[in-house]
């Protein structure tokens, strides 16, 4: 049975993506900061998919030591290897570079970029040994173009896209794929109090379906970057 690792998986995109892999016969390893949310989610999934192995651990992905420790625990539970890694954990905080709070860039770099860097490095030996694997990095249209109140968030998403492109170049001869997911606005809990009509935005299922389709291509094909926006354009 194959194994997928998804970070930030108790709600929104991460939860929907994890469910997609569970539905298709994968074991999963997931993390989030809320231990209670993870407990409820694991119980729900174990009832739905009793034949799957589910590793669900509370991890603060802003903490490099905790991120590396999560990687070691994954390798201990799934010694035969990891087939898919979805670096989804991240945070959005609006602001302008000139006047956003001190430390904002460091905080978002730790979660939006360095967590993906360190977890990928931790799990890559398993993929390299196996001779296959697929890494997905959750970028954003903020990775492509500056926009109002983008600030440090946009900087981190540009960095994550650069990380994806460098990693893809390094791993292409090792039969390991790297795909950047670059969506516009997707309806999740963070939009509930925004006043925006949910019908104006994409759904988490849209992104999960695109990810799954990219994963299912033959070994001869790699989707380098998936850019997807709401039908009416960015907000």
Domain ranges within the chain, ordered by starting residue: 3-228
> How much is the pLDDT for 189?
78
- Specify the pairing of strand 84-87 against strand 133-138: parallel
What single string gives the DSSP state of each residue in the chain? Answer: --EEEEES-SSHHHHHHHHHHHHTT-EEEEEES-HHHHHHHHHHHHHH-TTS-EEEEE--TT-HHHHHHHHHHHHHH-TT--SEEEE---------TTTSPTTHHHHHHIIIIIHHHHHHHHHHHHHHHHT-EEEEEE--GGGTS--TT-HHHHHHHHHHHHHHHHHHHHHGGGTEEEEEEEE--B--GGGTTS---GGGSB-HHHHHHHHHHHHTS-TT----EEEE--TT---
**Residue 82, both tokens:** 């990891």
Topology of domain 3-228, per CATH? Rossmann fold (3.40.50)
> Which two three-digit tokens encode residue 50?
């009793």
Rounded to two decimals, the pTM is 0.97
Does the structure show a pLDDT above 80 at 52? yes
- Comparing 71-80, 146-155, 185-194, 223-232, the range with the smallest average pLDDT is 185-194
Of the candidates 84, 139, 74, the residue with the CA atom closest to the CA atom of residue 112: 139
pLDDT-based confidence at 35, cuts 50/70/90? very high
Residues 67-112 have pLDDT tens digits of 999 999 999 999 999 999 999 999 999 999 999 999 999 999 999 9
Tell me the average pLDDT across 150-156: 97
Residue 176 dihedral angles phi and psi, to the nearest 5°: -115, 125
Sign of CA dihedral 11, 14, 20, 23: negative
pLDDT at residue 216 in the model: 98
Given a contact cutoff of 8 angstroms between Cβ atoms, the answer to whether 183 and 167 are in contact is no
Question: Tell me, what's the pLDDT at 8?
Answer: 96
Give the pLDDT confidence of 111-143 residue by residue, as tens digits.
999 999 999 999 999 999 999 999 999 999 999
pLDDT, average across residues 33-44: 94
pLDDT digit string, tens, across residues 15-24: 999 999 999 9
Q: What average pLDDT score do residues 53-58 get? A: 97
Mean pLDDT of the chain: 96
Q: What is the pLDDT of residue 192?
A: 79
């Amino acid at each position: 049975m194959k194994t997928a690792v998804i970070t930030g998986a108790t709600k929104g995109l991460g939860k929907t993506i994890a469910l997609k892999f569970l539905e298709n016969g994968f074991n999963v390893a997931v993390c989030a900061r809320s231990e209670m949310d993870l407990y409820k989610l694991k119980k729900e999934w174990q009832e739905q998919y009793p034949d799957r192995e589910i590793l669900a651990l509370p991890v603060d992905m802003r903490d490099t030591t905790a991120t590396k420790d999560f990687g070691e625990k994954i390798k201990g539970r799934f010694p035969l290897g990891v087939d898919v890694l979805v670096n989804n954990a991240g945070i959005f905080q609006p602001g302008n570079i000139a006047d956003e709070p001190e430390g904002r860039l460091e905080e978002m770099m730790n979660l939006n970029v360095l967590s993906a860097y360190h977890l990928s490095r931790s799990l890559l030996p398993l993929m390299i040994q196996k001779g296959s694997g697929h890494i997905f990095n959750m970028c954003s249209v903020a990775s492509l173009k500056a926009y109002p109140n983008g600030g440090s968030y946009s900087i981190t998403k540009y960095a994550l896209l650069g990380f994806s492109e460098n990693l893809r170049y390094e791993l292409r001869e090792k039969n390991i794929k790297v795909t950047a997911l670059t969506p516009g606005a997707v309806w999740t809990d963070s939009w509930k109090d925004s006043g925006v009509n949910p019908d104006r935005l994409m759904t988490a299922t849209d992104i999960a379906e695109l990810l799954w389709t990219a994963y299912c291509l033959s070994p001869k094909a790699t989707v380098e970057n998936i850019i997807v926006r709401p039908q009416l354009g960015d907000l």
